[in-house]
Amino acid sequence: MSVRKLKPVTPGQRFRVVNGFDAVTTDKPEKSLLAPIKKSGGRNNKGKMTMRYLGGGHKRKYRVIDFKRAKTGVEATVESIQYDPNRTAFIALIQYADGEKSYIIAPNGLQVGQTVASGADVAPEIGNAMPLRNMPLGTIISCIELRPGQGAVMARSAGAFAQLMAREGKYAVVKLPSGETRLVLADCVATIGAVSNSDHQLLVSGKAGRSRWLGRRPRTRPVVMNPVDHPMGGGEGRASGGHPRSRKGLPAKGYRTRSKTKASNKYIVERRKK
């Protein structure tokens, strides 16, 4: 894991910080695990723009990731660690003993040639997936299910990890990357280890064009709009528009929008910090 600072041979490269890609072992994806991605450009089926600031970007193929890790009792060997343009984490190509190949989110420290497995009776080693009820307390985990059999939904981005704190009956207490402590059913499966590419947060794009390559169009600041377009618009000269709020008038920056009657509130032991 490393980053590289480029020599400023052009203005766009002066502050650019790029990934060293030390962990990546190949640039050729597995063709059988690729799927097409259709871009909408933020338009709906009538061609009307329903999401602003989307469009363009480099053409991509989707890598079909196995988030469920449901193939239990069969060992798999790590064939390669690869870059995935659709996510911040690196992915690992694994081949099971019966010949089947699949992609998984690569944990930090996973090496080519290493063996991984999933199931209730596997060892709690990096890359293995197992139910929360079978893990030792204090284990660093990632790619956590919220419902048994659903597939991983939490702690999947680069460098993310959670920690198994305790077990209470049919629930496990998990401290999530946001700082929230939450009850998760102990039958839910998670992967041992933190997610790879933890240096992702150190990257600097260097120029506006890189956002366009990623499919992000220029965003207009609300404070420069007119009153008809945004609550923070209007004013003489460079007058900033009152309290920060959304286009619909909801306060931003600290105002909590989570419903007080939301059903899942009872599973939250401690809210995330402001």
CATH number for the domain that contains residue 249: 4.10.950.10
Q: What's the number of domains the chain is made of?
A: 2
Distance set, CA 173 to CA 108, 159, 163, 164 (Å): 23, 21, 9, 6
Angstrom distance (rounded) from CA 177 to CA 158? 11
Long-range contact pairs involving 4-9 (C-beta distance under 8 Å, separation at least 24): 6/206
Question: pLDDT grade, residue 240 (50/70/90)?
Answer: confident
Kindly report the CA angle at 239 between 235 and 244, in degrees rounded to 5?
A: 95
What is the reported pLDDT for 102?
97
CATH number at residue 165: 2.40.50.140
Instruction: Compute and round to an integer the Cα radius of gyration of the chain.
Output: 22
Q: Stretch 182-187: mean pLDDT, rounded?
A: 98
Dist. CA 127–CA 102, nearest whole Å: 14
Residue 112 is assigned to a structural domain of this protein: yes
Task: With H, G, I as helix, E, B as strand and everything else as coil, classify residue 224.
Answer: helix
Q: What is the pLDDT of residues 129-164, one digit of tens each?
A: 999 999 999 999 999 999 999 999 999 999 999 999
- 231 with 187, same domain: the answer is no
Examine residue 258 and state whether it is found in any structural domain, yes or no: yes
| Structure confidence at residue 257 as a pLDDT band (50, 70, 90) | confident
Structural domain including 261 reads 222-266
Q: Indicate whether 242 and 114 sit together in one domain.
A: no
Q: In sequence order, which residues have a C-beta less than 8 Å from that of residue 195 and are 6 or more positions away?
A: 89, 105, 106, 107, 108, 142, 143, 155, 156, 157, 158, 159, 160, 161
pLDDT of 116 higher than 80: yes
User: Do both 174 and 254 map to the same domain?
Assistant: no
Take residue 80 and report the two structure tokens written for it: 């390669």
In a domain, 271, yes or no: no
| pTM, entire model | 0.93
Q: Looking at the predicted structure, is the pLDDT value of residue 238 above 90? A: no
Q: Are residues 191 and 251 in the same domain?
A: no
Query: Quick check: 237 pLDDT over 90?
Result: no
Q: Which tens digit of pLDDT belongs to each residue from 67-105?
A: 999 999 899 999 999 999 999 999 999 999 999 999 999
What per-residue confidence (pLDDT) applies to 1? 65
